[in-house]
Structure 1
């Protein structure tokens, strides 16, 4: 995933460009690690893999180190380069997306802790089919959000935002089904509640992937689309893109 270098073409100094590219490389490495952590946490749960569950929790320390290093690097860029306009937006967007990546890592560690507990109890409880499905969807969301960030692709970021709505609906449906199951068969309440916590973590991971996509749109288009309906966001992004293209077209 190579960044779109055209966005880096009018910086205050070439050093800013080098600094931000270094941070971007580290950010993408952190993103790859976080995506793998989510995948491993889900596998640990579904495959009752105790060793993998413990590994995910241990490796959360590496995600935390990445977050600290990226924060420190961005703080130095602000202090030394004094970026303005689109350069400043890029630093702000990276800082916020960095926080969201770290929180995805936290949710993966939570899933791994629950997986560890359920591994020790044996027998797969109800809700694993929903966990597998929603888990696969959020993994795709993370990958596509990072890809949109790397390519500075606002249109792709909108599609990630739209996918978050699908996950929210499937999460609500799965939770209703599990509530009904517990009422009908109270013997497995505690274990099913653990699966519900896993689904909650997956839903939150989707929210964080959406947040990263919102930062892509802010970085590229200068639009703050938080708390905005995705249809309206898509309309605004397309309008802004059309306006920019019209300015570039010679009369």
Structure 2
């Protein structure tokens, strides 16, 4: 005989499984876009158009995965009507996959610049700043996803701090590239393409920071979007 309590436990176990499944799929998508960013940067720095083409072609896979996970989130919201922490988890995943899809878009933009630069010739900068910032933001994406997987608020805060550093590195790199264009107008075309790639990387850092903020929302129930890092830490200490 199936009792009311055993039936409730069965439904609860099914729900927990569904939540773990969409979280696992979000992290799978995250791993995919993290690789997309690294491959796009590598294709540009190492002048590898074939790798760049693969990045562009895989962007469709990232887009389709976002649609599938978003459908799963909508279905859970409609059928299970989650509350409290379960609701925050579904909402955080729904928001995170949107940022992950945009990271994939930025990686594809970098790859397209890579293909063009491979045809036109290298930038005079040697892509030093681009390699450095590329490694930095790829690490941020990795750490943001790790923080989500572990529900690690401290790691999420560190990712938010890293975003400020990336912004500074981006500003410095842009000033350096401007110097090349002033000194030799013949390189303006290639340097502009590198600038567009750097801009895409800076946006990747922004999206990684967003995912870190969703971790804080998920664990603490605080919406810390648009806060300065000092204000964010102060709010968490009050909580």
Relative to the length of structure 1, the TM-score reads 0.89
**Quick one: distance in 2 between partners of 1:94 and 1:196?**
31
**Quick one: distance in 1 between partners of 2:82 and 2:176?**
51
| Structure 2: 5+ residue stretches without partners | 1-8
> 1:1-251 counterparts in 2 under 5 A?
13-126=12-125, 128-240=127-239
Contact 1:127 1:195 in 2 (8 A): no
Greater than 6 Å deviation, 4+ residue runs: none
CA displacement at 1:231 relative to structure 2: 1.5
**Quick one: distance in 2 between partners of 1:80 and 1:69?**
17
CA displacement at 1:180 relative to structure 2: 2.0
Contact 2:123 2:187 in 1 (8 A): no
**Quick one: distance in 2 between partners of 1:129 and 1:238?**
39
CA displacement at 1:127 relative to structure 2: 5.6
Relative to the length of structure 2, the TM-score reads 0.93
Which 10-residue stretch deviates more, 78-87 or 142-151?
78-87
**Quick one: distance in 2 between partners of 1:193 and 1:126?**
12
**Quick one: distance in 2 between partners of 1:68 and 1:127?**
38
**Quick one: distance in 1 between partners of 2:22 and 2:124?**
42
Aligned residues: 230
CA RMSD of aligned residues (A): 1.4
Distance 1:123 1:113, change over 3 A: same
| Structure 1: 5+ residue stretches without partners | 1-9, 241-251
